[in-house]
Amino acid sequence: MSRGTEIPAVLPADVLAGAPSYDVVVVGFGIAGGCGALEAARAGARVLLLERAAVHGGTSSMSGGHFYLGGGTAVQRATGHEDSPEEMYKYLVAVSKEPEHDKIRAYCEDSVEHFDWLEALGFEFERSYYPEKAVIQPGTEGLMYTGNEKVWPYPEQARPAPRGHKVPVPGDTEGTRMVMDLLRERVEEAGVEVRYETGATNLVADESGTVRGLAWRSFAETGYVAAGGVVIAAGGFVMNPDMVAEHTPRLAEKPFTLGSTYDDGLGIRLGASVGAELKHMDEPFITAPFYPPSALITGFLVNRLGERFCAEDSYHSRTSQFVMEQPDSTAYLIVDSEHVEYPRFPLVPLIDGFETISDLEDALELPAGSVAKTLERYNELAEAGEDVDFHKAPEWLAPQGTGPWAVFDLRLGHAMYAGFTLGGLRVSVDGEAQRPDGTVIPGLYAAGACASNLAQDGKGYCSGTQLGEGSFFGRRAGRAAAGFGC
């Protein structure tokens, strides 16, 4: 079962008679599952790791290679950026939807240790900083801002610091693949048994509700395995159109889905089958970055009423979420000829250049005089050096007074929007699956994209969160499962 919304049946414990037994069984070999399996094995557990694909990596291997880490990492210190667990904590609380303070506190206080643990896999983040506004560093620079740390109102709530630590591979491809290859080597060294092209189909539980193992399938072959603890790390549900339609319909409209074939929500449904609560299932990440080049940020955004609606220097997914809230999900970026630069690989296409604002309004069918009024106000704010309307940072304010004006199309269905899901199983700080009343389901753990941990919403998401929290909470789930199962 890989599509649909059906909940798999829970099998009785007697099916495990004669089945092989492991202390810990991990479902999914992405960043969360790999880290969980490694930590469980290092804790002394006999570990089995199941992966439906023919290779390791999952969706983690498709990411750009950012890990959201802070609190004073070696890269932050080497590049002169002051940070502390407390400032990181205050920021993540500010951008989280219904923040779970124990998880955020643990993530921040142990972030430096986790940074060191990741490097001990066999690589080193470059001790360098990329200062430009970009989606990802074009080179091997080890650090950049990947969230809204410098975007109002967050600087008033926490001291900004860059926390996007990038794997030292140029550009946005192959970086995480390198980490996953190293993780595979460490997993093998630790004695974890890995079975590829093998997926879990059902959980097995006894009469008390304790998870005792699972059923698996590999092509036509099926079987059972007993486990002291089961860790589900099987990804999100963005590739399941039925679950997307039920929980995050905006992702079903036009965005390109970011995920692997097996991001079909099966892990989430397995957890639900034994009573685990689902949290934040309606939260998607959706984005269509209009930068780089960063000069475009000096322009101004208008909706179909010709009015500004957000600070243009926001992190790209924050801006995109604001666009989604506008009438008809329509927005345009307007930049004058003194500041316009053209993207090499535009995700937000250029519509045209217009000699006059009146021509622009007519062509875009915006209310007559609306953009002219917005432009006049924007230029007043830019010349004064303070955006009292939307609090855009002064460094990105510049009068847009020289025609022709270029217009870039942020409309949903025209710009290249992409997205993935953020919700998943309710878990404790140690990855224990929880029921709606907060009680723990013995023997079941979850981490990564199928679990709800830092619980950022689309406007507060930071690049690097999925790899950062997936690896961090995957480790905790693996250790906890080993303690339960050994």
The whole-chain average pLDDT of the chain stands at 92
- pLDDT, residue 1, reads 42
Q: Give the separation between CA 240 and CA 242, rounded to whole angstroms.
A: 6
Q: What would the mean pLDDT of 450-454 be, rounded to a whole number?
A: 89
Q: Give the separation between CA 151 and CA 100, rounded to whole angstroms.
A: 23
The full 3-state SS of the chain, as one line of letters, equals CCCCCCCCCCEEHHHHCCCCEEEEEEECCCHHHHHHHHHHHHCCCCEEEEECCCCCCHHHHHCCCEEECCCCCHHHHHCCCCCCHHHHHHHHHHHECCCCHHHHHHHHHCHHHHHHHHHCCCCCCCCCECCCCCCCCCCCCCEECCCCCCCCCHHHCCCCCCCEEECCCCCCCCHHHHHHHHHHHHHHHCCCEEEECCEEEEEEECCCCCEEEEEEEECCEEEEEEEEEEEECCCCCCCCHHHHHHHCCHHHHCCEECCCCCCCCHHHHHHHHCCCCEECCCCEEEECCCCCCHHHHHCEEECCCCCCCCCCCCCHHHHHHHHHCCHHHCCEEEEECCCCCCCCCCCCCEEEEECCHHHHHHHHCCCCCHHHHHHHHHHHHHHHCCCCCCCCCHHHCCCCCCCCEEEEECCECCECCEEEECCEEEECCCCEEECCCCCEEEEEEECHHHEECCCECCCCCCCCHHHHHHHHHHHHHHHHHHHHHC
Structure tokens at 387: 């955006």
Q: Give the separation between CA 147 and CA 153, rounded to whole angstroms.
A: 13
In the Cβ-directed half-sphere of 72, how many Cα atoms lie within 13 Å?
A: 7
Write the single-letter amino acid at 319. T
Q: Give the separation between CA 305 and CA 323, rounded to whole angstroms.
A: 13
- pLDDT, residue 253, reads 67
In the Cβ-directed half-sphere of 349, how many Cα atoms lie within 13 Å?
A: 9
- Residue boundaries of the structural domains of the chain: 11-63+174-286+418-485, 66-166, 289-409
Q: CA triplet 358, 363, 364: central angle to 5 degrees?
A: 100
Write out the CATH class of domain 289-409. alpha beta
Assign 416 a pLDDT band (cuts: 50, 70, 90): confident
Cβ(462)–Cβ(287) under 8 Å? no
Least-confidence region, from 353-357, 434-438, 457-461: 457-461
Least-confidence region, from 36-45, 226-235, 275-284: 275-284
- pLDDT beyond 60 at 2: no
Assign 255 a pLDDT band (cuts: 50, 70, 90): low
- Asked if the domains 11-63+174-286+418-485 and 289-409 are classified in one and the same CATH topology, the answer is no
List, for residues 10-26, the tens digit of each pLDDT value: 999 999 999 999 999 99
Q: What would the mean pLDDT of 143-167 be, rounded to a whole number?
A: 95
Q: What would the mean pLDDT of 185-196 be, rounded to a whole number?
A: 97
Instruction: Give Cα 369 distance to the centre of its chain.
Output: 40
Cβ(301)–Cβ(325) under 8 Å? no
- pLDDT beyond 60 at 115: yes
- pLDDT beyond 60 at 74: yes
- pLDDT beyond 90 at 368: yes
- pLDDT beyond 50 at 128: yes
Radius of gyration of the chain (CA): 24
Most confident of 252-266, 410-424, 470-484: 470-484
pTM over 0.85: yes
Query: Comparing 79 with 259, which gets the higher pLDDT?
Result: 79
List, for residues 383-399, the tens digit of each pLDDT value: 999 999 999 999 999 99
Into which CATH architecture does domain 11-63+174-286+418-485 fall? 3-Layer(bba) Sandwich (3.50)
